[in-house]
């Protein structure tokens, strides 16, 4: 698309320019912006060739080929942006992380984790239909974040719910169902039980968010803090390698009724 923002009558200007030359002796030259023309170009020529750049990229690319090994399979392409307050890829990631971390948590502490909240910004790519590779997963979750469990009092969980209400984004969640109204929070189920502000909850997240990342300040200063020290991406890699076939769908876990 090309947009022309300012256009003057250039012919008129040049007549004036000529007169200026005639009547003024040569002084300090100062330039002024007259017109600006803009264009945003989509880069799509994937068949373009450039030997110099290809030679530069090759050794790096070759080292990454070991990441191309198939670890699983997906019948559909999954995205972090295919729903309003949830997404197929976000649901998959949060569900896997909660299931796997809960096993570990029970084993270590004999406590059940109530729910999981991650951030949409932590998921950077799509899962492609067909073979799943480690390369693909590294693109989806490039960060070296580890899973962390916090025990929050009911008031902090309410802050969390209010944050989700205001953010209005598809942050990945699992173990929690929320119905927002136009502006307020209508209904919240945690592990299929009504949210109780007088109770405390065990919430699974990443170390990045626990430290206040993405302005999730309710995770700071929890009642209890457990670092599981497992890389979130590695949890996914192990799970997919074991299960082979991956599926996910939107299930209205977080909705807004207007």
Binding positions for other proteins, 104-133, rule CB under 8 A:
124-126, 128-130
**Min. distance of Cβ 235 from other proteins in angstroms?**
16
Contact 197, 158 (CB under 8 A): yes
CA distance 190 to 176: 5
Tokens of 29: 């030259």
Give 136 or 173: the residue with its C-beta nearer to other proteins: 136
Give 104 or 217: the residue with its C-beta nearer to other proteins: 217
Binding positions for other proteins, 83-102, rule CB under 8 A:
none
Instruction: Compute the radius of gyration of the chain from its Cα atoms.
Output: 27
Mapped onto helix, strand or coil, the DSSP state of residue 179 is: strand
Residue 227 binding other proteins, by CB under 8 A: no
Options 104, 111, 139, 241; binder of other proteins; rule CB under 8 A? 139
Options 84, 120, 143, 158; binder of other proteins; rule CB under 8 A? 143
Options 16, 106, 197, 223; binder of other proteins; rule CB under 8 A? 16
Options 84, 120, 158, 167; binder of other proteins; rule CB under 8 A? 167
Q: What are phi and psi of 168, to 5 degrees?
A: 55, 40
Tokens 């945690």 identify what position?
190
**Min. distance of Cβ 157 from other proteins in angstroms?**
20
Beta bridge partners of 205: 148
Binding positions for other proteins, 44-83, rule CB under 8 A:
44-46, 48-50, 52-54, 56-57, 60-61, 63-64, 67, 77, 79
Options 34, 227, 245, 252; binder of other proteins; rule CB under 8 A? 34
Give 42 or 258: the residue with its C-beta nearer to other proteins: 42
* Cβ contacts of 99-106, under 8 Å, gap ≥ 24: 99/239, 100/235, 100/238, 100/239, 101/147, 101/149, 101/204, 101/228, 101/230, 101/235, 102/204, 104/228, 104/230, 105/149, 105/202, 105/226, 105/228
CA distance 32 to 209: 48
Binding-residue total with other proteins (CB under 8 A): 72
């Amino acid at each position: 698309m090309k947009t022309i923002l300012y256009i003057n009558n250039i012919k008129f200007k040049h007549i004036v320019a000529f007169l200026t030359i005639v009547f003024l002796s040569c002084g300090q030259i100062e330039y002024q912006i007259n017109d600006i023309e803009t264009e945003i170009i989509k880069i799509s020529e994937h068949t373009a060739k450039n030997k110099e750049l290809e030679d530069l990229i090759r050794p790096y690319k070759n080292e990454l080929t070991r990441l191309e090994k198939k670890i699983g399979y997906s019948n559909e392409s999954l995205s972090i942006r295919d729903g309003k307050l949830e997404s197929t890829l976000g649901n998959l990631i949060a569900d896997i992380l909660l299931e796997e971390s809960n096993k570990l948590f029970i084993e270590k502490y004999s406590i059940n984790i109530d729910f999981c909240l991650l951030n949409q910004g932590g998921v950077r790519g799509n899962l492609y239909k067909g073979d799943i590779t480690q390369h693909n997963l590294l693109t989806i979750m490039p960060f070296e974040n580890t899973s962390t469990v916090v025990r929050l009092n009911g008031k902090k969980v309410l802050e969390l719910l209010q944050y989700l209400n205001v953010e209005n984004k598809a942050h990945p969640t699992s173990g929690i169902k929320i119905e927002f109204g136009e502006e307020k929070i209508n209904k919240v189920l945690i592990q299929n039980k009504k949210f109780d502000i007088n109770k405390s909850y065990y919430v699974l997240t990443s170390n990045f968010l626990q430290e206040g990342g993405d302005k999730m300040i309710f995770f700071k200063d929890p009642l209890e803090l457990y670092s599981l020290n497992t890389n979130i991406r590695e949890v996914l890699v192990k799970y997919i390698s074991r299960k082979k076939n991956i599926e996910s769908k939107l299930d209205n876990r977080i909705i807004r009724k207007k």
